[in-house]
Structure 1
Amino acid sequence: MGRMSMLGLALVAALACTVSTQEEQAQHPLTNMPPSGSVQTAFILPSFPDKKFPAGGLVDVVVGLHNEGSEAYNVSLIAGSLNSPADFSLHVQNFSMAAYGEVIGPGEEASLTYKFVPDARLSPRDFVVALTSFYTDSKGQWYSTTFFNQTVDIVEQKKLVDWELIMLVGLFAFILLALAYWAYTTVVGWGWVKPQKKRAKRAPVPKQQGPVDLDEWVKGHPYDQYMRKRNTAIKK
């Protein structure tokens, strides 16, 4: 019984350790961020300086990093999130993490570009966007610096052709034509209006260009000679 108990305890401990390891691996870096280091940051938004980000559109931000410490830092990744303006702890969307591996020595600077896409299903309204850079020192100690943490306006993405509007107008026109045809056939069926019959087109009569010379038809024939002799006899 003692050996069985020892094996059971070992199995439970191993299972607990496995679950704990899986939870740590599944934990997002933004959930429990490391402390800030000696890196100062600044950013620019080249495409959307007014902070109006289109839902479903690509947004890029350029971050400048300056190492004010006495040792080198390895900027490993940048991650971001979209949060509720009423409760920052409520993560509406986690943006994809981008890996860099950029080493910045003491007193050096570097510029990195981070790209993210707000979900296309987001409704147009205000949200809070937070973007954080993660870096390590020579001992493997992790640090983080949030270089963007501001309220932005999520707007609808501009469309070159609004196919939904075109389809709606086409459907409305089709319904109107169908109703008009139904009304016409109903009135004709009641006998209120007689259907119009197509009239057969007559062939056009060729126009006479001038008076017809009947003598032209008999010239060179025996009848022409007979008429000449007859007219000569009458004159005599």
Structure 2
Amino acid sequence: MIELNFTDFVVRAQEDDTDDDVDVEGEETGVTDEGGEEEEAVEKPTGSPDADTIILFTKPAVAPGTNLELPAGDLVEFLVGFRNKGPEDFVLETLDASFRYPMDFNFYIQNFSTLAYERPVKPGQEATLSYSFIPAEAFAGRPFGLSINLRYRDLNGRQFYEGVYNETVNIVEIDEGLDGETFFLYVLLGACVVLLLVVGQQFLYSVGKKRVGGGGGGTTHKRHVETGTANHNDVDYEWLPKETLQSLSE
């Protein structure tokens, strides 16, 4: 395993909008059919026995041994580590990536830019190359073959073409969750609820004030208080005993 040095220079590739094939030595370019697929004879990767390569996906981060899932319409980044364990210098020339038909890697689905590095690597040294691309959103929910290839040479001019990654990957749709429009709608609904509460409170306060103050110009009703019988001459005392009447008259 090669330890990737993230401080080495980084080059990011942009998606090739023209989807044109890049002519490289040893590859045969086929004819594009009506569906946009391009058939090309796949060159068998032949790397140097004096070199080791490793790939590490940094966005999205993928644990070793798990299936690779790439987000449609989002940036994908990976690092390619190269170690020269031979006695001669190597020159890292190009790095390219493409989507292939998963059942037959001879058919191209989407090409990405081929980056030229021309980076020398001396014996016993290591180098790290960075590459990025964006899968098309229309590919969401479908599997594709991802082919990543590194081309390099030695000082004698011998060319080496090594397949760093050739596996089937799944293109998944991004779950964005709460977007800006939905968040704004929730904020607007919350403001409407608060406004209704304030209006209701003011209405209840005004109604209660009118009831307590009589409305400001209404008729004031006097409170009726029972005072009992004021005229004692209308009381019948005949049923009382004489002793009681005498005591009352005293």
TM-score of the superposed pair, with normalisation by structure 2: 0.52
How far is the alpha carbon of 1:157 from its aligned partner? 2.3
Q: Which whole-Å CA distance do the structure 1 matches of 2:220 and 2:27 have between them?
A: 101
Q: Is the 8 A contact 1:39 1:145 kept in 2?
A: no
Task: Give the match's secondary structure for 1:113.
Answer: strand
The match for 2:57 among 42, 45, 64 is 45
CA offsets 1:54-113 (integer angstroms, 9 cap, x no match): 111111111111112221111122101111111111111111122222211112111221
Change (3 A) 1:141 1:151: same
1:195 aligns to what? none
Query: Counterparts of 1:79-90 in structure 2 under 5 Å?
Result: 79-90=96-107
2:137 aligns to what? 120
Task: Give the match's secondary structure for 2:219.
Answer: coil
CA RMSD after TM alignment: 2.9
2:246 aligns to what? none
CA offsets 1:120-145 (integer angstroms, 9 cap, x no match): 22141221101011112223332221
Q: Which whole-Å CA distance do the structure 1 matches of 2:115 and 2:22 have between them?
A: 16
CA offsets 1:4-25 (integer angstroms, 9 cap, x no match): xxxxxxxxxxxxxxxxxxxxx9
Higher helix share: 1
Task: Give the match's secondary structure for 1:159.
Answer: coil
1:36 aligns to what? 47
1:230 aligns to what? none
Alignment of 1:129 onto 2:146: yes
Alignment of 1:64 onto 2:81: yes
2:218 aligns to what? 207
Gaps of 5+ in 1: 1-24, 167-203, 212-236
Q: Is the 8 A contact 2:59 2:75 kept in 1?
A: no
Q: Once the two structures are aligned, what percentage of the paired residues are identical?
A: 29
Q: Which whole-Å CA distance do the structure 2 matches of 1:28 and 1:151 have between them?
A: 24
Deviates more, 1:29-38 or 1:67-76: 29-38
Q: Which whole-Å CA distance do the structure 2 matches of 1:53 and 1:80 have between them?
A: 14
2:124 aligns to what? 107
